[in-house]
Amino acid sequence: MSENIEVVVIGGGYAGVMAANRLTRRDDVSVTLINARPDFVERIRLHQLAGGTHAAVGDYRKLLGERVRLVVDTVTRIDATGRGVELASGATVGYDYLIYAVGSGSAAPGVPGAAGFAHSIATFEEAQRLRSVLDAASATAPVTVVGAGPTGIETAAELAEAGRTVTLVCGGRLGPYLHPNGRRSVARRLAGLGVTVLQGPGTKVTEVTGDTVRLCDGRELPSEVTVWTAGFGVPDLAARSGLSTDLLGRLLTDETLTSIDDERIVAAGDSAAPSDMPFRMSCQAAGPLGAHAADTVLSRIAGRRPAPIDLGFAGQCISLGRHAGIFQFAHSNDTAKRLHLGGRTGATVKELVCRLTVKQLVNEAKKPGSHTWARGEQGRRLLRAQRRETAATAEQSA
C-alpha cells in the first residue's frame, strides 16, 4: 500500500473548495482545508448581504467532499522548510503539499479619513457591519459609494433599489472594464434607480469625514454612510512567511501555479500571481485556478510534469439590483466585446452564474476531476510576449 500524502489547502473560498474537492481523486491523498470561518461565504453576493436580499453564506457540509477535513482556524505562518502551517490556536498542521488560496480583500485606503469613516464590503464581516450601519441610519440618509468597478456598481444599485439615496463616486470612469455600449446600459439603469453617478478626473476622493466626502475638484458631498469599494488587497501571509510575492502580496508562481520558491507550494485564486501576471479577480477565474492548482499537485504526486494554466474568459457579470443586470461578453484574453446582455436578461444570467458557481463546487465534491473550463492560452502568450518586449525595450534605453 502506498504511503498517505498530506495536502493542506489554506482558504475555503471558491478556489480553495474547488482545489480541496478535486484532490480527492486519489485515495492515497488526505486533504485538510483550513478556513477562518465555519461557513462558506458567497463572495459575489456580499453586496446583497449589505442590501438585505441574501445571507451570502453556504454550508460546507454540502460543498465539501466527504474525505475533506475542515479545520476552522487561522493560519499565522507557513513554515516551508519544515512543511507545516502554524495556526492561531497554537496547533501546527504538517503537509507534503500546500495549496495557497487565501483570497483577497480591500486594500487599506490611503485617503485621509477613509479608514476611520468609510465601510468596506470585501469580507463577510465587513458586509455584516455595513448592514448594521444602514439599519441604524435613517431612511433618507445620504449614502456615498466610492469605486465604480463591479462591487461599487452592484452595491450602489442594490442600496438604491432598497430606497436609499445613493451617489456613486467613480474616481475616473464608470465600469472601466465595460465596452462603451455596456457602460451606457449600466448608466441608464443606475439613473433609473435614482443613483447619482459622478465620473471623470475630478471625482477622485481626497478626504472622508463622518458626514462628508470631499473630491479633488473641490466638491463636498453629504454622506452619512460611506462605502469604500476601491482598491484590492490580499492577506500578507505569504510575505510574512518569507515567500516571494508581487507588490500587492500575491504569491509569485510559474505558469503551473507553483511557487517560484518551493515546488511543494501551489497557489490558486486571487492570491496567485502566475508569471507576475495575475488573472482578473473573479469567481470565473477562481474555480479553474483552484482546479488547476489541484491538478498540479496531483501531477507531481504521480511523477508527471504539471501543465501550464490555460484559462479563457467569457465576460463580466454585474447585477443592477434584483430586476436588472448586465453580462458583458469578452474575448478569451479578457477584453470586452461590443456585445452585452442587459435588463432582466442580464439579471437572469447573473443569478444563474451565482448559482452555477456554487453548483460547480458541489459537482466536484461528488465527482472529483469533473470540472472543466474555457481555454484561452493564446491571449496569455501574447501578454507574456508583450511583457518581455517591454522589458527588453526598457533595458536598451537604460
The DSSP-derived string for 57-119 is: EE-HHHHS-TTEEEEE--EEEEETTTTEEEETTS-EEE-SEEEE----BPPPP-STTHHHHEE
- For residue 144, the SS3 value is strand
Does 388 score more than 80 pLDDT?
no
**C-beta atoms surrounding 372 within 10 Å:** 9
What is the band of 349 on the pLDDT scale with cuts at 50, 70, 90?
very high
Cβ atoms of residues 45 and 317 within 8 Å: no
pLDDT value of position 197: 98
Of the listed ranges 108-117, 125-134, 285-294, 368-377, the one predicted with least confidence: 368-377
Q: What is the spatial distance between Cα 43 and Cα 121, in angstroms, rounded to a whole number? A: 10
Mean per-residue pLDDT, 245-255: 95
Does 360 score more than 80 pLDDT?
yes
Does 380 score more than 60 pLDDT?
no
Name the DSSP class of 263.
T
Of the listed ranges 7-16, 104-113, 184-193, the one predicted with least confidence: 104-113
pLDDT value of position 36: 96
Mean per-residue pLDDT, 49-58: 96
Name the nearest CA neighbour of 229 among 143, 328, 142.
143
pLDDT value of position 398: 55
Of the listed ranges 2-6, 79-83, 321-325, the one predicted with least confidence: 2-6
pLDDT value of position 375: 84
Cβ atoms of residues 359 and 351 within 8 Å: no
Q: What is the spatial distance between Cα 195 and Cα 215, in angstroms, rounded to a whole number? A: 18
Average pLDDT, the chain: 93
Does 59 score more than 70 pLDDT?
yes
Mean per-residue pLDDT, 379-385: 56
pLDDT value of position 37: 96
Query: Among the residues of the chain, which ranges form H helices?
Result: 14-23, 46-51, 60-63, 114-117, 124-136, 150-161, 180-192, 237-240, 283-301, 343-366, 377-397
Mean per-residue pLDDT, 180-194: 98
Which is it for strands 325-330 and 315-319: parallel, antiparallel or unpaired?
antiparallel
pLDDT value of position 292: 97
Write the single-letter amino acid at 10.
Answer: I
Residue the block writes with cell 477613509: 114
Mean per-residue pLDDT, 177-203: 97
Name the DSSP class of 271.
G
pLDDT tens for 102-143 read: 999 877 788 999 999 999 999 999 999 999 999 999 999 999
Backbone angles phi, psi at 370, to 5 degrees: -85, -20
Please report, rounded to a whole number, the percentage of residues in the chain having pLDDT higher than 90: 87
Mean per-residue pLDDT, 9-32: 98
pLDDT value of position 148: 94
Backbone angles phi, psi at 192, to 5 degrees: -65, -30
Mean per-residue pLDDT, 333-348: 94
Mean per-residue pLDDT, 291-319: 96
Q: How many degrees, rounded to 5, is the angle at CA 71 between CA 290 and CA 76?
A: 80
pLDDT value of position 1: 39
Residue the block writes with cell 442580464: 346
Q: What is the spatial distance between Cα 103 and Cα 269, in angstroms, rounded to a whole number? A: 6
What is the band of 393 on the pLDDT scale with cuts at 50, 70, 90?
low
